[in-house]
């Protein structure tokens, strides 16, 4: 089927269902909560929702450990609630994509349970088991959530199963054609329901080096990161091409790859005209704070705006060279809030700065993704104790940090800053105790710093972050800007170190975006005289120059 790229015009909103809206007062967000807010999302102007996992799950990794791909977890509601959500979304012209987690399942999945209960069953080969002759762990690979990638099978001393993530997330054996077929059937079952596609989890992990050999350790634990032997390895292409042909292509579905470890030279294979996916997340600037994306305990990185700028431009260049499309993200359920991360000085963590960061990424070529609460300028929390965290990787990073020699205070400070829970606090609808999210204690404590940061307050304030997002989103659908925002060429505009500036061009239409991420004012010399389309503070353009106060952002167009 010809890839029509119908998805180029979408603006996607990521819902983290657990924290969006609780409608039955158990402290956990649910599917009906999403349905309840469809009009809010429509008004924001987004066209598509990505729903993080709502499948049946023991929630060890908050749903990224799936026990049944074709059932809704009772915490979130029922399949009828899902069908209702899909229908109500459709009525409003909103599309839905789901999360596809097929590198691993939960250890509670029927397949894994059968594999353990009966080593002769066909399900044994759905997973990866090894029984080394010496009875030792098969190799020294370190899982992404810390510790060995191997766990001994209960009741079978000397036999181990493999997991890239937590022990409760055994990896599926993609070498097995029967397993692959079962996965394709499941995917097509969802596509037949009428969803528009998938966000594809951890997809570069499907292929592992089949020598299963130990490698040079890279930590005090004597282990080496699993990504070196189990991420974007030779042979992955075969799986991804077959996956696409057997499923997505048949429906012209949208797919967004969470595809870590792809070298620029390989981008054409992933997102080129016949790539494995419609697009891939561009994590480059999102991860600027991460020295190593999964090993937070190693501390903060001292990035500069200049580096951030180079990162954005290099990444756009690589995507363009690949003839591809990027999925542009500022926040997700896997990262702290952008305002707390990318604005180092708390004094400047203001609505103005939230709008500046929004402007920086929203007009880049590609499809913008907005993570729930980002449109309000939500911030990180501050926790006093490690038991206030729920996220498995936060808890593991804390422990690893301590093992590597950090004090409890140091480890807590890092986890406070980097924890994924920062983005998972309940959505702030109102200024009520539980933010209008629930009437009972939520599954995860609310954020601390939330005065004025909620939908009810921001709706009333024309200058709120929310209303700024609404305007930005609307621009994308408005003549004469739509064509240049969606298809316009992209080029860097020379600017002072702390200013990120770029130009989009399409025929006669031009936009210049300039954002000052520094703490002092900066002047940008423009290629031409322009006029202001939108800005977060009052700015004037004179003699082809615009002066930007700290955290000022402006979108300009030809006069
Ligand atoms: C990426 C997901 O975004 C993250 O939340 C999860 O922990 C891992 N993949 C494992 O599925
Ligand atoms: Ca609920």
Q: What is the pLDDT of residues 282-336, one digit of tens each?
A: 999 988 987 665 667 777 778 999 999 999 999 999 999 999 999 999 999 999 9
For residue 23, which ligand has an atom nearest its CA? 2
Superfamily of domain 6-106+176-470 in the CATH hierarchy = Glycosidases (3.20.20.80)
Ligand 1 test: best mutation among 101, 169, 392, 423, most atoms within 8 Å of CB?
A: 101
**Measured from the CB, is residue 289 less than 6 Å from ligand 1?**
no
Beta-bridged to residue 491, according to DSSP, are: 503
Q: What is the pLDDT of residues 231-288, one digit of tens each?
A: 999 999 999 999 999 999 999 999 999 999 999 999 999 999 999 999 999 999 988 9
Instruction: Supply the angle between the helices 177-193 and 236-243 in degrees, to the nearest 10.
Output: 40
**CATH 3.20.20.80 residue ranges for the chain:** 6-106+176-470
User: Number of helices (H) and strands (E), helices first, in the chain?
Assistant: 18, 23
- The answer to whether domain 489-558 has CATH 1.10.3720.10 is no
Q: What is the DSSP letter of 503?
A: E
Q: What's the mean pLDDT when you consider all of the chain? A: 96
Q: What is the pLDDT of residues 144-189, one digit of tens each?
A: 998 999 999 999 999 999 999 999 999 999 999 999 999 999 999 9
Query: What number of CA atoms fall less than 13 Å from residue 270's CA on the CB side?
Result: 28
Q: What is the pLDDT of residue 1?
A: 42
Query: Among the atoms of ligand 1, which is closest to the Cα of residue 165?
Result: 10
Q: What is the pLDDT of residues 465-520, one digit of tens each?
A: 999 999 999 999 999 999 999 999 999 999 999 999 999 999 889 999 999 999 99
Ligand 1, atom 11: nearest CA belongs to which residue?
Answer: 64
Class of residue 540 by CB neighbours under 10 A (exposed 0-12, middle 13-18, buried 19+): exposed
Three-state secondary-structure class, residue 490: strand
pLDDT band at 2 (very low <50, low <70, confident <90, very high): very low
Determine whether 258 is an active site residue: yes
**Measured from the CB, is residue 102 less than 6 Å from ligand 1?**
no
**Type and span of the H or E element at 367:** strand 367-371
Q: What is the pLDDT of residue 3?
A: 54
**CATH 3.90.400.10 residue ranges for the chain:** 110-162
Q: What is the Å distance from ligand 1's center to 61 Cα?
A: 8
Q: What is the pLDDT of residues 419-460, one digit of tens each?
A: 999 999 999 999 999 999 999 999 999 999 999 999 999 999
**CATH 2.60.40.1180 residue ranges for the chain:** 489-558
**Measured from the CB, is residue 200 less than 6 Å from ligand 1?**
no
Whole-number percent of the chain with pLDDT over 90: 93
- Please give the Cα distance from 515 to 554 (Å, whole number): 6
CB atoms within 10 A of CB 461: 12
Q: What is the DSSP letter of 506?
A: E
Give the fold, CATH level 3, of 110-162: Oligo-1,6-glucosidase; domain 2 (3.90.400)
Residue 501 backbone dihedrals phi, psi, to 5 degrees: -135, 135
Q: What is the pLDDT of residue 364?
A: 98
Structure tokens at 422: 């920062």
């Amino acid at each position: 089927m010809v890839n029509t790229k119908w998805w180029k015009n979408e603006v996607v909103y990521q819902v983290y269902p657990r924290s969006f809206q609780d409608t039955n007062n158990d402290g956990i967000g649910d599917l009906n909560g999403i349905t309840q807010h469809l009009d809010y999302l429509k008004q924001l102007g987004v066209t598509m929702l990505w729903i993080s996992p709502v499948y049946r799950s023991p929630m060890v990794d908050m749903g990224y450990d799936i026990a049944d791909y074709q059932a809704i977890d009772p915490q979130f509601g029922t399949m009828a609630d899902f069908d209702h959500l899909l229908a109500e979304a459709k009525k409003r012209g909103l599309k839905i994509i789901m999360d596809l987690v097929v590198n691993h399942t939960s250890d509670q999945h029927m397949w894994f349970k059968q594999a353990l209960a009966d080593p002769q069953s066909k399900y044994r080969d759905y997973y990866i088991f090894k029984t080394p002759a010496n009875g030792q762990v098969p190799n020294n690979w370190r899982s992404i959530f810390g510790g060995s990638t191997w766990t001994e099978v209960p009741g079978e001393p000397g036999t181990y199963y493999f997991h890239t993530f937590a022990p409760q997330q055994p990896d599926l054996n993609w070498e097995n054609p029967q397993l692959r077929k079962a996965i394709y059937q499941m995917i097509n079952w969802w596509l037949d329901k009428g969803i528009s596609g998938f966000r594809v989890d951890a997809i570069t992990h499907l292929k592992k080096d089949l020598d299963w050999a130990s490698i040079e350790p890279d930590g005090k634990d004597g282990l080496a990161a699993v990504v070196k032997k189990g991420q974007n390895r030779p042979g992955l292409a075969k799986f991804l091409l077959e996956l696409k042909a057997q499923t997505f292509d048949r429906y012209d579905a949208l797919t967004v790859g969470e595809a870590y470890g792809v070298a620029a030279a390989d981008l054409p294979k992933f997102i080129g005209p016949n790539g494995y996916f419609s697009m891939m997340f561009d994590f480059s600037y999102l991860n600027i704070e991460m020295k190593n994306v999964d090993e937070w305990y190693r501390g903060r990185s001292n990035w500069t705006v200049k580096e951030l700028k180079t990162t954005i431009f290099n990444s756009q260049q690589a995507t363009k060279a690949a003839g591809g499309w990027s999925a542009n993200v500022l926040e997700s359920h896997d990262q702290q809030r952008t305002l707390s991360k990318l604005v180092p000085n708390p004094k400047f963590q203001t609505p103005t700065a939230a709008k500046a960061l929004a402007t920086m990424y929203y007009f880049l070529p590609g499809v913008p993704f907005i993570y729930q609460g980002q449109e309000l300028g939500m911030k990180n929390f501050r926790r006093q104790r490690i038991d206030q965290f729920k996220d498995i990787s936060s808890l593991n990073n804390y422990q690893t940090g301590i093992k590597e020699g950090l004090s409890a205070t140091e480890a807590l400070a890092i986890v406070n800053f980097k924890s994924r829970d920062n983005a998972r606090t309940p959505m702030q609808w109102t200024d009520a105790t539980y933010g209008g999210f629930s009437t009972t204690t939520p599954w995860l404590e609310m954020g601390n710093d939330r005065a004025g940061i909620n939908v009810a307050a921001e709706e009333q304030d024309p200058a709120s972050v929310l209303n700024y997002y609404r305007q930005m989103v609307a621009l994308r659908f408005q003549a004469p800007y739509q064509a240049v925002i969606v298809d316009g060429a992209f080029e860097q505009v020379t600017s002072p170190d702390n200013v990120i500036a770029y130009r989009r061009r399409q025929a006669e239409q031009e936009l210049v975006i300039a954002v000052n991420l520094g703490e002092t004012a900066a002047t940008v010399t423009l290629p031409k005289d322009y006029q202001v389309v939108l800005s977060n503070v009052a700015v004037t353009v004179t003699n082809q120059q615009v002066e930007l106060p700290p955290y000022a952002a402006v979108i300009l167009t030809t006069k």
